[in-house]
Amino acid sequence: MHVTAQHVIRFLERVAAVIKEHRDELTQLDANIGDADHGANMDRGFSAVLAKLPTLADKDIGTILKTTGMTLISTVGGASGPLYGTAFMRAASVLTDKTELTPHDVTQAFEAALEGLKVRGKAQRGEKTMIDAIEPGVAVLRTANGTDEPFLAVLQRAVAAVEAGMQATIPMQATKGRASYLGERSIGHQDPGATSSYYIARALLDTLQEPD
Protein backbone atom coordinates (compact mmCIF):
# COMPACT_ATOMS: atom_id res chain seq x y z
CA MET A 1 0.00 0.00 0.00
CA HIS A 2 0.94 3.65 -0.31
CA VAL A 3 0.55 6.32 2.37
CA THR A 4 -0.78 9.60 1.00
CA ALA A 5 -0.67 13.14 2.35
CA GLN A 6 -4.34 12.76 3.23
CA HIS A 7 -3.48 9.71 5.33
CA VAL A 8 -0.94 11.82 7.20
CA ILE A 9 -3.50 14.56 7.85
CA ARG A 10 -5.99 12.00 9.17
CA PHE A 11 -3.26 10.43 11.30
CA LEU A 12 -2.46 13.76 12.95
CA GLU A 13 -6.16 14.42 13.54
CA ARG A 14 -6.43 11.03 15.23
CA VAL A 15 -3.32 11.65 17.34
CA ALA A 16 -4.79 14.92 18.62
CA ALA A 17 -8.03 13.14 19.55
CA VAL A 18 -6.28 10.18 21.22
CA ILE A 19 -3.92 12.37 23.23
CA LYS A 20 -6.85 14.46 24.43
CA GLU A 21 -8.73 11.28 25.36
CA HIS A 22 -5.77 9.99 27.39
CA ARG A 23 -4.63 13.34 28.74
CA ASP A 24 -5.45 12.54 32.38
CA GLU A 25 -3.86 9.09 32.17
CA LEU A 26 -0.62 10.53 30.78
CA THR A 27 -0.63 13.22 33.46
CA GLN A 28 -1.07 10.62 36.20
CA LEU A 29 1.75 8.49 34.85
CA ASP A 30 3.94 11.59 34.83
CA ALA A 31 2.83 12.49 38.35
CA ASN A 32 4.30 9.18 39.52
CA ILE A 33 7.82 9.84 38.22
CA GLY A 34 7.92 13.32 36.70
CA ASP A 35 6.38 16.78 36.73
CA ALA A 36 2.73 15.73 36.24
CA ASP A 37 2.44 17.75 33.03
CA HIS A 38 2.97 15.28 30.18
CA GLY A 39 -0.71 14.89 29.36
CA ALA A 40 -1.45 18.60 29.46
CA ASN A 41 1.65 19.45 27.44
CA MET A 42 0.98 16.86 24.76
CA ASP A 43 -2.67 17.87 24.51
CA ARG A 44 -1.72 21.51 24.09
CA GLY A 45 0.84 20.66 21.42
CA PHE A 46 -1.32 18.42 19.28
CA SER A 47 -4.31 20.74 19.67
CA ALA A 48 -2.08 23.42 18.14
CA VAL A 49 -1.12 21.00 15.35
CA LEU A 50 -4.80 20.24 14.76
CA ALA A 51 -5.54 23.94 14.38
CA LYS A 52 -2.89 24.22 11.63
CA LEU A 53 -3.97 21.21 9.59
CA PRO A 54 -6.50 23.11 7.41
CA THR A 55 -3.60 25.21 6.09
CA LEU A 56 -1.64 22.05 5.20
CA ALA A 57 -4.29 20.21 3.19
CA ASP A 58 -2.52 20.81 -0.14
CA LYS A 59 1.06 20.45 1.10
CA ASP A 60 3.51 17.59 0.63
CA ILE A 61 4.13 15.12 3.45
CA GLY A 62 7.53 16.56 4.33
CA THR A 63 6.00 20.01 4.83
CA ILE A 64 3.14 18.61 6.91
CA LEU A 65 5.50 16.77 9.25
CA LYS A 66 7.98 19.67 9.45
CA THR A 67 5.18 22.05 10.42
CA THR A 68 3.99 19.52 13.01
CA GLY A 69 7.47 19.30 14.52
CA MET A 70 7.96 23.06 14.64
CA THR A 71 4.53 23.49 16.24
CA LEU A 72 5.27 20.92 18.93
CA ILE A 73 8.61 22.53 19.75
CA SER A 74 6.97 25.94 20.13
CA THR A 75 3.93 24.84 22.15
CA VAL A 76 4.82 21.77 24.22
CA GLY A 77 6.57 22.38 27.52
CA GLY A 78 9.16 20.24 29.25
CA ALA A 79 11.29 17.71 27.39
CA SER A 80 8.43 16.36 25.27
CA GLY A 81 8.25 19.33 22.88
CA PRO A 82 11.88 19.26 21.75
CA LEU A 83 11.87 15.45 21.60
CA TYR A 84 8.67 14.90 19.66
CA GLY A 85 9.32 18.00 17.60
CA THR A 86 12.75 16.69 16.63
CA ALA A 87 11.27 13.28 15.75
CA PHE A 88 8.71 14.78 13.37
CA MET A 89 11.25 17.14 11.81
CA ARG A 90 13.79 14.37 11.26
CA ALA A 91 11.08 12.27 9.62
CA ALA A 92 10.16 15.26 7.47
CA SER A 93 13.77 15.66 6.33
CA VAL A 94 13.73 12.31 4.48
CA LEU A 95 10.26 12.90 2.99
CA THR A 96 10.78 16.30 1.34
CA ASP A 97 8.37 16.96 -1.55
CA LYS A 98 6.76 13.52 -1.28
CA THR A 99 2.99 13.26 -1.64
CA GLU A 100 2.87 9.46 -1.43
CA LEU A 101 5.00 7.07 0.61
CA THR A 102 6.04 3.50 0.04
CA PRO A 103 6.64 1.15 2.99
CA HIS A 104 10.35 1.82 2.51
CA ASP A 105 9.75 5.56 2.84
CA VAL A 106 7.79 5.01 6.07
CA THR A 107 10.59 2.87 7.48
CA GLN A 108 13.18 5.51 6.59
CA ALA A 109 11.07 8.18 8.26
CA PHE A 110 10.80 6.19 11.49
CA GLU A 111 14.52 5.41 11.46
CA ALA A 112 15.29 9.12 11.06
CA ALA A 113 12.86 10.02 13.85
CA LEU A 114 14.40 7.47 16.21
CA GLU A 115 17.93 8.69 15.49
CA GLY A 116 16.79 12.26 16.15
CA LEU A 117 15.30 11.24 19.49
CA LYS A 118 18.49 9.47 20.53
CA VAL A 119 20.67 12.43 19.64
CA ARG A 120 18.39 15.07 21.13
CA GLY A 121 17.62 13.13 24.29
CA LYS A 122 21.07 11.56 24.62
CA ALA A 123 19.21 8.37 25.47
CA GLN A 124 19.50 4.70 24.62
CA ARG A 125 17.22 1.74 25.08
CA GLY A 126 16.99 0.48 28.66
CA GLU A 127 16.93 3.89 30.37
CA LYS A 128 13.12 4.04 30.84
CA THR A 129 12.24 6.55 28.13
CA MET A 130 10.18 6.66 24.95
CA ILE A 131 13.14 5.01 23.19
CA ASP A 132 12.21 1.76 24.92
CA ALA A 133 8.85 1.79 23.14
CA ILE A 134 9.86 3.23 19.77
CA GLU A 135 13.05 1.31 19.00
CA PRO A 136 11.46 -2.20 19.06
CA GLY A 137 8.79 -1.00 16.63
CA VAL A 138 11.37 0.50 14.29
CA ALA A 139 13.32 -2.76 14.46
CA VAL A 140 10.27 -4.64 13.17
CA LEU A 141 9.89 -2.20 10.27
CA ARG A 142 13.57 -2.41 9.44
CA THR A 143 13.65 -6.22 9.48
CA ALA A 144 10.57 -6.48 7.25
CA ASN A 145 11.77 -3.81 4.81
CA GLY A 146 12.01 -5.23 1.30
CA THR A 147 10.10 -8.43 2.09
CA ASP A 148 6.78 -9.48 0.60
CA GLU A 149 4.89 -9.24 3.90
CA PRO A 150 1.89 -6.90 3.55
CA PHE A 151 2.70 -3.53 5.06
CA LEU A 152 -0.33 -3.45 7.34
CA ALA A 153 0.71 -6.80 8.79
CA VAL A 154 4.21 -5.42 9.38
CA LEU A 155 2.78 -2.31 11.00
CA GLN A 156 0.55 -4.40 13.26
CA ARG A 157 3.62 -6.30 14.47
CA ALA A 158 5.54 -3.05 14.88
CA VAL A 159 2.80 -1.48 17.03
CA ALA A 160 2.62 -4.65 19.13
CA ALA A 161 6.38 -4.28 19.68
CA VAL A 162 5.90 -0.65 20.71
CA GLU A 163 3.24 -1.71 23.20
CA ALA A 164 5.49 -4.43 24.63
CA GLY A 165 8.33 -1.92 24.88
CA MET A 166 6.07 0.50 26.73
CA GLN A 167 5.09 -2.19 29.22
CA ALA A 168 8.75 -3.18 29.62
CA THR A 169 9.47 0.25 31.13
CA ILE A 170 7.46 -0.63 34.26
CA PRO A 171 10.17 -2.72 36.01
CA MET A 172 13.01 -0.47 34.81
CA GLN A 173 14.86 2.02 36.95
CA ALA A 174 15.04 5.37 35.19
CA THR A 175 18.51 6.66 34.40
CA LYS A 176 17.48 9.57 32.15
CA GLY A 177 15.37 12.65 32.63
CA ARG A 178 13.36 13.82 35.60
CA ALA A 179 12.45 10.26 36.61
CA SER A 180 16.13 9.41 37.16
CA TYR A 181 16.13 11.63 40.25
CA LEU A 182 13.89 9.08 41.96
CA GLY A 183 16.40 6.25 41.66
CA GLU A 184 14.84 2.94 42.70
CA ARG A 185 11.51 4.65 43.40
CA SER A 186 11.02 4.94 39.63
CA ILE A 187 10.73 1.15 39.45
CA GLY A 188 7.17 -0.09 39.05
CA HIS A 189 5.85 2.86 37.06
CA GLN A 190 5.19 2.96 33.32
CA ASP A 191 7.04 5.69 31.50
CA PRO A 192 4.68 8.44 30.27
CA GLY A 193 6.71 9.20 27.14
CA ALA A 194 6.72 5.54 26.15
CA THR A 195 2.96 5.55 26.68
CA SER A 196 2.28 8.56 24.47
CA SER A 197 4.58 7.01 21.86
CA TYR A 198 2.41 3.90 21.86
CA TYR A 199 -0.75 5.96 21.43
CA ILE A 200 0.81 7.77 18.47
CA ALA A 201 1.92 4.50 16.87
CA ARG A 202 -1.52 3.00 17.42
CA ALA A 203 -3.09 6.08 15.82
CA LEU A 204 -1.04 5.52 12.68
CA LEU A 205 -2.10 1.87 12.44
CA ASP A 206 -5.75 2.71 13.04
CA THR A 207 -5.62 5.42 10.38
CA LEU A 208 -4.12 3.15 7.73
CA GLN A 209 -6.56 0.36 8.54
CA GLU A 210 -9.53 2.61 7.84
CA PRO A 211 -11.20 2.15 4.46
CA ASP A 212 -10.45 5.04 2.11
3-state DSSP assignment of residue 27: helix
Under a CB-based contact definition with an 8 Å cutoff, are residues 161 and 207 in contact?
no
pTM: 0.95
pLDDT (0 to 100) of residue 54: 96
- For the chain, the average pLDDT equals 94
On the question of pLDDT at 129 being above 90, the answer is yes
Instruction: Note the pLDDT tens digit of each residue in 73-90.
Output: 999 877 889 999 999 999
pLDDT (0 to 100) of residue 29: 94
Q: Which numeric CATH code is attached to 3-209? A: 1.25.40.340
Work out the average pLDDT over 60-69: 98
Under a CB-based contact definition with an 8 Å cutoff, are residues 122 and 104 in contact?
no
> Residues near 50 by Cβ (< 8 Å), separated by ≥ 6?
12, 13, 16
On the question of pLDDT at 191 being above 90, the answer is yes
- Rounded alpha-carbon distances, angstroms, from residue 184 to 119, 171, 172, 177, 187: 26, 10, 9, 14, 6
Work out the average pLDDT over 137-147: 95
Ranges of each domain in the chain: 3-209
Under a CB-based contact definition with an 8 Å cutoff, are residues 12 and 50 in contact?
yes
Work out the average pLDDT over 89-102: 97
Percent of the chain whose predicted confidence (pLDDT) is above 70: 99
Instruction: Note the pLDDT tens digit of each residue in 13-55.
Output: 999 999 999 999 999 999 988 888 999 999 999 999 999 999 9
Work out the average pLDDT over 48-73: 97
Percent of the chain whose predicted confidence (pLDDT) is above 90: 84
Query: Which H helix or E strand runs over 100?
Result: strand 100-101
Count of other CB atoms within 10 angstroms of residue 211: 3
